[in-house]
């Protein structure tokens, strides 16, 4: 059994080997890559991505990346394609075929069928002289010198190379389409990722209570207001405008300094010029402002008037963090 030092060394060697292979890919980019991107960009159809074995798994990932960045894509397993699924391919579709060797039996059957239907084929292969390489319209060279597998058998470095070329395609197409963060949000409405792109402060603060006191409010009223609204804070307002803030911490600090607070008012203990955020700002911006200032609440303004509170716990609950 390998000791810890040996295991770490094997991991480092694997990462080093794959990183060198990926770096070498940049030297293999040719005009075929440009033409492949332009073909997909100008196509009226979808991108059909196919492969077999580990290449099929990578094909699925590339499909997911393209779909999430504005390029409609569908996965078609190479073995299933020659047993009925070939009907997935429509007239204007572009086919991307992944195969390290480019010579698997399924590929040799599938490629002529695609060609006979007049669909363009983009090959992602480690062997440009293979059957796939010779019959594809464009070749994206995924050649690697060695698999990370010590027996040079298990697809490791080669599948990583395929994945990186797929990412390169997706990013080029994203740039050509002018795909923005707003577009990204449309395709990712669920989960934390989507919320970071579309959730606004008012979506959260509007659900919360709106603790507020006037400048001349007694300390007792301040405590009651903070306790009742359960946000650990209250705004101090005047004519609906924020003039200060009082937090649980302010109350604790006050108690360490005075024994009798019966004559104190909100104005005496409030923090002036509190950190505020506009109701229409993105929720992720509220998080950033909290992190920079090491605070857990922000007062919210809308059209210059007090509009509520957004709390760190709200952002956690929404999955922004």
Which of 179, 212, 246 is a domain's end point?
Answer: 179
Number of domains in the chain: 2
Instruction: Specify the pLDDT at position 3.
Output: 84
- Residue 185 falls inside a structural domain: no
- Residue 250 falls inside a structural domain: yes
Which of 179, 211, 246 is a domain's end point?
Answer: 179
Which of 147, 179, 211 is a domain's end point?
Answer: 179
What are the tens digits of pLDDT across the range 209-257?
899 999 999 999 999 999 999 999 999 999 999 999 999 998 999 988 8
What are the tens digits of pLDDT across the range 251-290?
999 988 888 888 899 999 998 989 999 999 988 888 889 9
Among 34-43, 162-171, 224-233, whose mean pLDDT is lowest? 224-233
Q: Which domain holds residue 159?
A: 4-179
SS (H, E, C) the chain: CCCHHHHHHHHHHHHHHHHHHHHHHHHHCCHHHHHHHHHHHHCCCCEEEEECCHHHHHHHHHHHHHHHCCCCEEEEEHHHHCCCHHHHCCCCCEEEEEECCCCCHHHHHHHHHHHHCCCCEEEEECCCCCHHHHHCCEEEECCCCCCCCCCCCCCCHHHHHHHHHHHHHHHHHHHHHCCCHHHHHHHCCCHHHHHHHHCEHHHHHCCCCCCEEECCCEHHHHHHHHHHHCCCEEEEEECCEEEEEEEHHHHHHHHHHCCCCCCCEHHHHCECCCCEEECCCEHHHHHHHHHHHCCCEEEEEECCEEEEEEEHHHHHHCCCC
Q: Which CATH number belongs to the domain containing residue 282 in this structure?
A: 3.10.580.10
- Residue 184 falls inside a structural domain: no
- Supply the pTM of this predicted model: 0.67
- Report whether pLDDT(54) > 60: yes
| Residue 175 and residue 35 share a domain | yes
- Residue 32 falls inside a structural domain: yes
| Residue 169 and residue 98 share a domain | yes
| Residue 161 and residue 206 share a domain | no
Q: Which CATH number belongs to the domain containing residue 126 in this structure?
A: 3.40.50.10490
């Amino acid at each position: 059994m390998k000791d810890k030092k040996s295991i770490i060394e094997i991991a480092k060697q694997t990462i080093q080997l794959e990183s060198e292979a990926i770096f070498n890919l940049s030297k293999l980019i040719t005009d075929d890559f440009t033409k492949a991107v332009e073909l997909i960009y100008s196509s009226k159809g979808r991108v059909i991505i196919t492969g077999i074995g580990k290449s099929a798994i990578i094909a699925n990932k590339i499909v997911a990346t393209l779909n999430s960045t504005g390029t409609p894509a569908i996965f078609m397993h190479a073995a299933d394609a020659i047993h009925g699924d070939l009907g997935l391919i429509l007239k204007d579709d572009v086919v991307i075929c992944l195969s390290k060797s480019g010579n698997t039996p399924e590929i040799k059957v599938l490629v002529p069928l695609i060609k006979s239907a007049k669909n363009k084929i983009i090959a992602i292969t480690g062997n440009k002289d293979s059957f796939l390489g010779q019959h594809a319209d464009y070749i994206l060279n995924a050649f690697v010198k060695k698999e990370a597998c010590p027996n040079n058998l298990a697809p490791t470095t080669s599948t990583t190379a395929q994945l990186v070329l797929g990412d390169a395609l997706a990013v080029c197409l994203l740039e050509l389409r002018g795909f923005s963060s707003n577009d990204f949000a449309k395709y990712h409405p669920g989960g934390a990722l989507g919320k970071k792109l579309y959730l606004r402060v008012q979506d959260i603060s509007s659900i919360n209570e709106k603790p507020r006191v006037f400048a001349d409010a007694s300390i007792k009223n301040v405590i009651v207001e903070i306790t009742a609204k359960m946000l650990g804070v209250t705004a101090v307002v005047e004519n609906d405008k924020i003039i200060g803030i009082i937090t649980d911490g302010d109350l604790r600090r006050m108690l360490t300094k005075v024994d009798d607070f019966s004559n104190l008012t909100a104005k005496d203990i409030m923090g002036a010029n509190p950190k505020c955020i506009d109701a229409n700002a993105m929720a992720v911006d509220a998080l950033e402002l909290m992190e920079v200032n090491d605070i857990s609440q922000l007062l919210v303004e809308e059209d210059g008037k007090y509009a509520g509170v957004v709390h760190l716990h709200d952002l956690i609950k929404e999955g922004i963090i």
